[in-house]
Structure 1
Amino acid sequence: MATSSKLAKIIKIRAISAIWIIPIVTAIVGIWIIYAHFADRGISFTLLAKDANGIIAGKTVIKNRSVDVGIVDEVTLSDDYKQVVIKGRIYNDMAPLLKNDSIFWVVKPEIGRDGVTGLGTILSGVYIELVAGNDTHSFQHKPFVLSDTPPLSDPSIKGIRLNLESEQNGVIPRGASVMFHGYRVGNVETSEFDIEARKMKYQIFITKPYDVLVTQNVRFWKEGGINLTLSSQGASLDVPSLDVLMSGGISFDLPDGSKLGAPAEQNAVYKLYEDKKAIKDSQYTEYKEFLVMLSDSISGLSEGVPVEYHGIRLGTVSKVPFYTAEMLEKSSILNKRVPILIRIEPDRLSELVDEKIDIAALIMKEQENGLRASLKTSNMFTGAMYIDLDFYPDLKNKFDPKMAKQFGYDTIEATSTGIAQIQSKVMQLLDNFNNLPINNTVSQLNQSLASSQRLMDSLNRVMASKEMQNMPKDLQKTLRSLNETMKELQPGSELNNQMKESLQKVQQMMDELTPLLNTLNDKSNALIFSAPPKKDQEPQAKGKK
Structure 2
Amino acid sequence: MSEQTPGKGDPQIAAPTITRKRQNRISWIWLVPVVAALMGLSLVVRTWLQAGTDISITFNSADGLEVGKTRLRYKDVNVGTVKSIGFNEDRSKVVVTAELAKEVSDLARDGTNFWVVKPRLDVSGVSGLGTLLSGAYIGVDAIEGKGKASKATKLTFEGLEIPPAVTHDRTGKRFKLKADNLGSLDVGSPVYYRRINVGRVIGYELDKSGDSVNIEVFVDAPNDAFVTSGTRFWNSSGVDFSVNADGLKVRTQSVVSLLVGGVAFEPVYTARGANKPAPADAEFELYSTEAQAKANPDGEAFDIRMRFDQSIRGLAVGALVDFSGITLGNVTGINLDFDPETKRFYSVVDATLYPERLGSVYDEVRELADKEGDVAGNRLLGGMIKHGLRAQLRPANLLTGQLYVNLDVFPNAKPVTFNPSVPAIIPTVPGNLDQLQQQLSNIVNKIEKIPFDKIGEDLRTTLASTSRLMNRLDKQVAPEAQGMLKQARDSMARINELLASDGSLPVSTERALQELNRAARSLRSLADFLQANPEALLRGRGADPIPGSGPVKN
Q: TM-score range by the shorter chain?
A: 0.5 to 0.7
CA RMSD across the alignment: 3.9
Which residue, 205, 226, 239 being the options, matches 1:192? 205
Question: Whole-Å Cα distance in 1 between the matches of residues 157 and 71 of structure 2?
Answer: 16
Find the counterpart in structure 2 of residue 55 from structure 1.
65
* Post-superposition CA distance 1:397-421 (Å, at most 9, x none): x4365xx559986644433343344
**Secondary structure class of the residue paired with 1:348:** helix
Judging changes above 3 Å, is the alpha-carbon distance between structure 1 residues 307 and 208 closer, same or farther for their aligned structure 2 residues? same
Task: Give the C-alpha shift of residue 74 in structure 1.
Answer: 0.7
Partners of 2:394 and 2:403 within 8 A in 1? yes
**Secondary structure class of the residue paired with 2:358:** helix
Which residue, 314, 331, 340 being the options, matches 1:300? 314
Judging changes above 3 Å, is the alpha-carbon distance between structure 1 residues 256 and 48 closer, same or farther for their aligned structure 2 residues? same
**Secondary structure class of the residue paired with 1:240:** coil
Question: Whole-Å Cα distance in 2 between the matches of residues 4 and 361 of structure 1?
Answer: 150
* Post-superposition CA distance 1:324-378 (Å, at most 9, x none): xxx65x54998354232345543222168996596413322113xxx54322112
1:4 aligns with 2:10: no
Find the counterpart in structure 2 of residue 415 from structure 1.
429
The amino acid of 1:347's aligned partner reads E
Find the counterpart in structure 1 of residue 38 from structure 2.
28
Find the counterpart in structure 2 of residue 383 from structure 1.
401
Judging changes above 3 Å, is the alpha-carbon distance between structure 1 residues 406 and 340 closer, same or farther for their aligned structure 2 residues? farther
1:339 aligns with 2:348: yes
Find the counterpart in structure 2 of residue 274 from structure 1.
288
Question: Whole-Å Cα distance in 2 between the matches of residues 39 and 122 of structure 1?
Answer: 36
Question: Whole-Å Cα distance in 2 between the matches of residues 186 and 428 of structure 1?
Answer: 64
Which residue, 224, 244, 247 being the options, matches 1:211? 224
Task: Give the C-alpha shift of residue 72 in structure 1.
Answer: 0.7
Task: Give the C-alpha shift of residue 176 in structure 1.
Answer: 1.2
1:122 aligns with 2:122: no
**Secondary structure class of the residue paired with 1:296:** coil
Which residue, 139, 159, 167 being the options, matches 1:154? 167
1:374 aligns with 2:392: yes
Partners of 1:159 and 1:206 within 8 A in 2? yes
Judging changes above 3 Å, is the alpha-carbon distance between structure 1 residues 263 and 10 closer, same or farther for their aligned structure 2 residues? farther
Q: Which runs of 5+ in 1 are unaligned?
A: 434-473, 475-545
The amino acid of 1:141's aligned partner reads K
In the superposition, the TM-score normalised over structure 1's length comes to 0.66
Please identify, of 44-53 and 356-365, the stretch whose mean Cα deviation from structure 2 is larger: 356-365
Which residue, 90, 93, 102 being the options, matches 1:83? 93
Which residue, 238, 253, 261 being the options, matches 1:240? 253
Partners of 1:293 and 1:337 within 8 A in 2? yes
Which residue, 351, 371, 382 being the options, matches 1:361? 382
Question: Whole-Å Cα distance in 1 between the matches of residues 342 and 266 of structure 2?
Answer: 43
1:71 aligns with 2:71: no
Task: Give the C-alpha shift of residue 316 in structure 1.
Answer: 2.6
**Secondary structure class of the residue paired with 1:321:** strand
Find the counterpart in structure 2 of residue 461 from structure 1.
none
**Secondary structure class of the residue paired with 1:147:** coil
Structure having the higher Rg: 2
Partners of 2:114 and 2:138 within 8 A in 1? yes
Judging changes above 3 Å, is the alpha-carbon distance between structure 1 residues 166 and 317 closer, same or farther for their aligned structure 2 residues? closer
Question: Whole-Å Cα distance in 2 between the matches of residues 423 and 228 of structure 1?
Answer: 35
Find the counterpart in structure 2 of residue 497 from structure 1.
none
Find the counterpart in structure 1 of residue 334 from structure 2.
321
Q: Percent of aligned pairs with the same residue?
A: 25
The amino acid of 2:384's aligned partner reads I
**Secondary structure class of the residue paired with 2:57:** strand
* Post-superposition CA distance 1:489-527 (Å, at most 9, x none): xxxxxxxxxxxxxxxxxxxxxxxxxxxxxxxxxxxxxxx
Judging changes above 3 Å, is the alpha-carbon distance between structure 1 residues 12 and 176 closer, same or farther for their aligned structure 2 residues? same
Judging changes above 3 Å, is the alpha-carbon distance between structure 1 residues 140 and 365 closer, same or farther for their aligned structure 2 residues? same
Partners of 2:270 and 2:297 within 8 A in 1? no
Judging changes above 3 Å, is the alpha-carbon distance between structure 1 residues 23 and 304 closer, same or farther for their aligned structure 2 residues? same
Question: Whole-Å Cα distance in 2 between the matches of residues 373 and 157 of structure 1?
Answer: 53
Partners of 1:59 and 1:72 within 8 A in 2? yes
Judging changes above 3 Å, is the alpha-carbon distance between structure 1 residues 422 and 88 closer, same or farther for their aligned structure 2 residues? same
Task: Give the C-alpha shift of residue 208 in structure 1.
Answer: 1.9
* Post-superposition CA distance 1:275-306 (Å, at most 9, x none): 33444568434465544332332122234433
* Post-superposition CA distance 1:152-207 (Å, at most 9, x none): 22311222223333333535211112233332222221223346645422222222
Partners of 1:100 and 1:133 within 8 A in 2? no
1:399 aligns with 2:399: no
The amino acid of 2:153's aligned partner reads Q
Please identify, of 342-351 and 90-99, the stretch whose mean Cα deviation from structure 2 is larger: 90-99
Give the number of aligned pairs. 423
Judging changes above 3 Å, is the alpha-carbon distance between structure 1 residues 303 and 280 closer, same or farther for their aligned structure 2 residues? farther
Find the counterpart in structure 2 of residue 532 from structure 1.
none
**Secondary structure class of the residue paired with 2:159:** strand
**Secondary structure class of the residue paired with 2:286:** strand
Find the counterpart in structure 2 of residue 517 from structure 1.
none
In the superposition, the TM-score normalised over structure 2's length comes to 0.65
Judging changes above 3 Å, is the alpha-carbon distance between structure 1 residues 343 and 97 closer, same or farther for their aligned structure 2 residues? closer
Question: Whole-Å Cα distance in 2 between the matches of residues 100 and 412 of structure 1?
Answer: 56
The amino acid of 2:40's aligned partner reads G
Task: Give the C-alpha shift of residue 73 in structure 1.
Answer: 0.6
**Secondary structure class of the residue paired with 2:69:** coil
